[in-house]
Structure 1
Amino acid sequence: MFLSELLPVKEAFRVIDENQVRMGVEEIDLDDAYHRVLAEDIISRFDSPPFDRSAMDGYAVRAEDTFGSSPENPITLRVVDSIGAGDVSGAETARGEAVRIATGAPIPEGADAVVMEEYTILSGDEIRVIRPVSPGENIAPRGEDIGAGERILKAGTLLRPPEIALAASAGHGRVKVYRKPSVRIIVTGNELVDPSGDLEPGKIPNSNRYTLKALVESAGGVPDVLHCGDDLEGVKDEIRRAADEYDAVITTGGTAISKGDVVVDAVKDLGEVLFHGVAVRPGKPVAFGMVNHKPVFMLSGYPVAAMVQFDVFARYYLMRMQYPEYRHRTVRRTCTGKVASAPGRTEYLRARATDEMVEPVRSRGSGIIRSMVESNAYIFLDENKEGISEGEECDVILFDSMII
């Protein structure tokens, strides 16, 4: 189905969801697991901690031996052994005895508490305890964090440093994760040239080449960039090759709705254009199709429009290829100024957000790259929303929340 009329944004997402492709699974070292997404549940192999361990540097004791102690009435205990982290003690702590112990070391037999070092006075092979402890005090019991056989992480979990620490504590040095999608980026335009060279008349620097590469990386993809001219057959050849060799294809340029531009025509010839033109601002000429069962996102050649189209549609798709639960998340902020908006289209306004407020960036042109630099969020205006009043709460999508 090819739709030439402007689609509502919700309908565009419906079409995208109906054609969502998921990535396969690979097993990787935990060293490489940061910001990858689990493809299976993680079951703990061990209790963590695997034994009762000291939570403090001090002395392992029988708690009852310390009852009644104070600075004025210290209780004397004999030190019979010393345990460092990673060591064990063969001594059994008897009545009137103590074992010097380091944080993380296993509690010796007979002991049921740890006196912090600062509440003791060492003299030869004896200590004077000046503060009592209760049974279990300053001890992390076996399995306090996780138990052997417990499901500690669910499939679909994004692995941040805390999740990686938990997996390691549970005895896993390798994990199964969704593969990162490989993405061919095809930047079209005869006018585009390397930014490091001199500009000839009619030429402009090829900023999209670098922008889209970074955007794909921020969405967890593995990009490969190509610059192609505005020749239909040449564009078709590159898209055909990309659909054979990569998991997804993103193009920029050649998507104008007012005429048959080469990229959209190329995808129509090779596969199916599922929509061309969305009621969104900026970036209404965005298109989406499938070639050889691979998604093809056709973005505007205007840099800001391409960035917004990527964030709204292509990022959503790439993230869900490897992170099935991903959704754009909105937060509420108070708008510092009045914003006008026409009903019937969804707007993603560049803005600068703080913890409580959001200020619209006034430069809205699709070619004003600086407006993106000045922004850290989008103000999201639904198609039924007719602007925002100063001081009104509004929905905001933070840039940081979209990065995998």
Structure 2
Amino acid sequence: MGTEFLKIKELEEAIEIIEELFKNSYKNQSEEISLEESVHRVIFNDVEAKIDFPPFNRALKDGYAIKAEDSFKSSPQDPKSLKIIDSIEAGIYSSKTIEKGQAIEISTGAPIPEGSDAIAMVEHTERYGEHVNLLVGVTPNTDIAFKGSDIKKGDLILKKGNILSPGKIGALKAQGLEKIEVFKKPKIGIISTGNELVVDKKDFKFSKIYDVNSYSLKSAIQISGGEGEILAIVKDNYDELKEEIKKGLEKYDILLSSGGTSAGRGDILIEVLNDLGEVYIHGISIKPGKPTIVGKIDSKLVIGLPGNPVAALIVYSTLISPHVRKLSGLKESMKSKVKKFPLNSRLHSSKGRAQYFLVKIQDKKIYPIIKDSGAITSLAIADGYIKVPKEKELLEEGEMLRFYEF
């Protein structure tokens, strides 16, 4: 006989317990990383400009730096002619000062020379040897980006919590930054338990199945902003599992173990957790996902997820992912991924338990995928899931439901 579920909780109570455990066990931490490795990372502190940008007055167009007044009333019929005294490309500057009747040839991005207050675009000029004819008049400040016009030193560039995109990384690099302080990703170790699990083809034979949960959970952790690593497949053996958990706790912030959580003979995670630490939840009143264990060893959480792949992924997505996201600096929920659609057909739910259904969205309607929680194909075709409260036993066709996208 296996042990009974000792600490089964209603879903709402389980959510509160898990939230309190994360709150008391973990704090947001930061690390400094190079900009080139920072895409999709979350900024830990506000970032202020270190320099004005642009750092000098610069040309916005190829052409000639001039005094605007020298171009007044210029036209193709009556062009004004200026003497060219120098040429400037981006990255160099001229020490010469433009006087009345003079011009300096200039490239986009080059510093504006002293004495100039406008750029005459090359398309609106004609050059003859060392002179240029202005075919169009320009006003002061034409095609000049002034120092600090984009951002001034001390101005806020990016806020804490911003996710670094290529554009944001470019803005930081324009400030001369090489590194940036970001939220440190929680490191999560993944253990799968079960005598039936294999990874290599050579071990696959009758009565065996491939380990699915390790790989789907690792992907889910990455999407949550965490850093997941597959540690091992452990047989249904107390000593092996205990040793793997002790090793994992030395390196990882959180451990996830899938399988070995229900009340069967081979389910020994509860024994290991009771011996090494404390169990706070042994069973949650949800379907799928009832055999979920939440324990704590010293200051770290060890969470036992069901062996069934659908159940494991749903429990992680609904109960664990929000806290991993928070530690990673992301918003706890993904509201943009939650939408409402009508139900395609009548749907029966379990009495007395909150139930999650994998669903497909087709023609802007919800199509529940009615398969057991061990059906791998349901994961392949599902777009996300819906949640049915425990007090609801029947949902009618056309009822509007919240759809949670994976």
TM-score range, shorter chain: 0.7 to 0.9
Tell whether the 8 Å contact from 2:261 to 2:304 is kept in structure 1 after alignment: yes
Hey, what does 1:245 align to over in structure 2? Answer: 251
Tell whether the 8 Å contact from 1:7 to 1:275 is kept in structure 2 after alignment: no
User: How far 1:228 sits from its partner (Å)?
Assistant: 0.4
2:60 corresponds to which of 55, 64, 84 = 55
Tell whether the 8 Å contact from 1:58 to 1:102 is kept in structure 2 after alignment: yes
Q: Any stretches of 5+ residues in structure 2 without a counterpart? A: none
Tell me how far apart the structure 2 counterparts of residues 142 and 380 of structure 1 sit (CA, whole Å): 55
The 1:167/1:257 distance shift into structure 2, 3 A limit, reads farther
The 1:297/1:146 distance shift into structure 2, 3 A limit, reads farther
Hey, what does 1:362 align to over in structure 2? Answer: 369
SS in 1 for 2:347: coil
Tell me how far apart the structure 2 counterparts of residues 345 and 121 of structure 1 sit (CA, whole Å): 82
Tell whether the 8 Å contact from 1:333 to 1:357 is kept in structure 2 after alignment: no
Tell whether the 8 Å contact from 2:214 to 2:230 is kept in structure 1 after alignment: no
The 1:201/1:353 distance shift into structure 2, 3 A limit, reads closer
Deviations for 1:7-58, whole angstroms, at most 9, x for unmatched residues?
A: 22x4433322222213533222222222222333322211111112222222
User: How far 1:353 sits from its partner (Å)?
Assistant: 5.6
SS in 2 for 1:289: strand
Residue 17 of structure 2 is aligned to residue 15 of structure 1: yes
The 1:318/1:331 distance shift into structure 2, 3 A limit, reads closer
Hey, what does 1:228 align to over in structure 2? Answer: 234
Tell whether the 8 Å contact from 1:287 to 1:297 is kept in structure 2 after alignment: yes
User: How far 1:394 sits from its partner (Å)?
Assistant: 4.5
Tell me how far apart the structure 1 counterparts of residues 405 and 173 of structure 2 sit (CA, whole Å): 31
What code does the residue aligned with 2:127 have? L
What code does the residue aligned with 1:81 have? D
SS in 2 for 1:17: helix
Tell whether the 8 Å contact from 2:279 to 2:293 is kept in structure 1 after alignment: yes
Tell me how far apart the structure 2 counterparts of residues 257 and 276 of structure 1 sit (CA, whole Å): 10
Question: TM-score if structure 1 supplies the norm length?
Answer: 0.85
Deviations for 1:252-286, whole angstroms, at most 9, x for unmatched residues?
A: 00122688931233223322222233344433333
What code does the residue aligned with 1:277 have? G
Structure 1 stretch displaced more, 41-50 or 217-226: 217-226
Residue 10 of structure 2 is aligned to residue 4 of structure 1: no
Tell whether the 8 Å contact from 1:187 to 1:208 is kept in structure 2 after alignment: yes
User: How far 1:339 sits from its partner (Å)?
Assistant: 6.1
Structure 1 stretch displaced more, 208-217 or 292-301: 208-217
% identity of equivalent residues: 34
Tell me how far apart the structure 1 counterparts of residues 151 and 55 of structure 2 sit (CA, whole Å): 9
1:98 corresponds to which of 86, 98, 103 = 103
User: How far 1:73 sits from its partner (Å)?
Assistant: 4.2
Hey, what does 1:402 align to over in structure 2? Answer: none
What code does the residue aligned with 2:195 have? N
Aligned-residue CA RMSD (Å): 3.1
SS in 1 for 2:148: coil
Tell me how far apart the structure 1 counterparts of residues 16 and 133 of structure 2 sit (CA, whole Å): 72
Residue 339 of structure 2 is aligned to residue 337 of structure 1: no
Structure 1 stretch displaced more, 84-93 or 324-333: 324-333
Hey, what does 2:326 align to over in structure 1? Answer: 320
Tell me how far apart the structure 2 counterparts of residues 388 and 55 of structure 1 sit (CA, whole Å): 63
User: How far 1:83 sits from its partner (Å)?
Assistant: 1.6
Tell whether the 8 Å contact from 1:180 to 1:222 is kept in structure 2 after alignment: no
SS in 2 for 1:28: strand
Tell me how far apart the structure 2 counterparts of residues 349 and 121 of structure 1 sit (CA, whole Å): 72
What code does the residue aligned with 2:165 have? R
Task: Report the structure number with the largest CA radius of gyration.
Answer: 2
Tell me how far apart the structure 2 counterparts of residues 159 and 271 of structure 1 sit (CA, whole Å): 38
Figure out how many residues of one structure are paired with residues of the other and give that number.
395
Tell me how far apart the structure 1 counterparts of residues 403 and 64 of structure 2 sit (CA, whole Å): 54
Hey, what does 1:301 align to over in structure 2? Answer: 307
Tell me how far apart the structure 2 counterparts of residues 191 and 171 of structure 1 sit (CA, whole Å): 55
1:291 corresponds to which of 285, 290, 297 = 297
The 1:153/1:66 distance shift into structure 2, 3 A limit, reads same
User: How far 1:301 sits from its partner (Å)?
Assistant: 0.9
Tell whether the 8 Å contact from 2:257 to 2:304 is kept in structure 1 after alignment: yes
SS in 2 for 1:197: helix
Structure 1 stretch displaced more, 361-370 or 241-250: 361-370
Hey, what does 1:208 align to over in structure 2? Answer: 213
Deviations for 1:143-196, whole angstroms, at most 9, x for unmatched residues?
A: 222221223233333322222222222232122223332222110000112242
Structure 1 stretch displaced more, 172-181 or 325-334: 325-334
User: How far 1:333 sits from its partner (Å)?
Assistant: 4.7
Q: Any stretches of 5+ residues in structure 1 without a counterpart? A: 400-404
Alignment of 1:2-401 (within 5 A): 4-8=7-11, 10-20=12-22, 21-197=26-202, 199-218=204-223, 219-256=225-262, 261-323=267-329, 325-329=331-335, 330-335=337-342, 337-338=344-345, 340=347, 342=349, 346=354, 348-352=356-360, 357=364, 359-360=366-367, 362-379=369-386, 387=395, 389-390=397-398, 394-399=401-406
User: How far 1:5 sits from its partner (Å)?
Assistant: 3.1
Deviations for 1:67-115, whole angstroms, at most 9, x for unmatched residues?
A: 3334444433333222211111212223333322222222222222223
Tell me how far apart the structure 1 counterparts of residues 389 and 115 of structure 2 sit (CA, whole Å): 67
Question: TM-score if structure 2 supplies the norm length?
Answer: 0.84
Structure 1 stretch displaced more, 235-244 or 297-306: 235-244
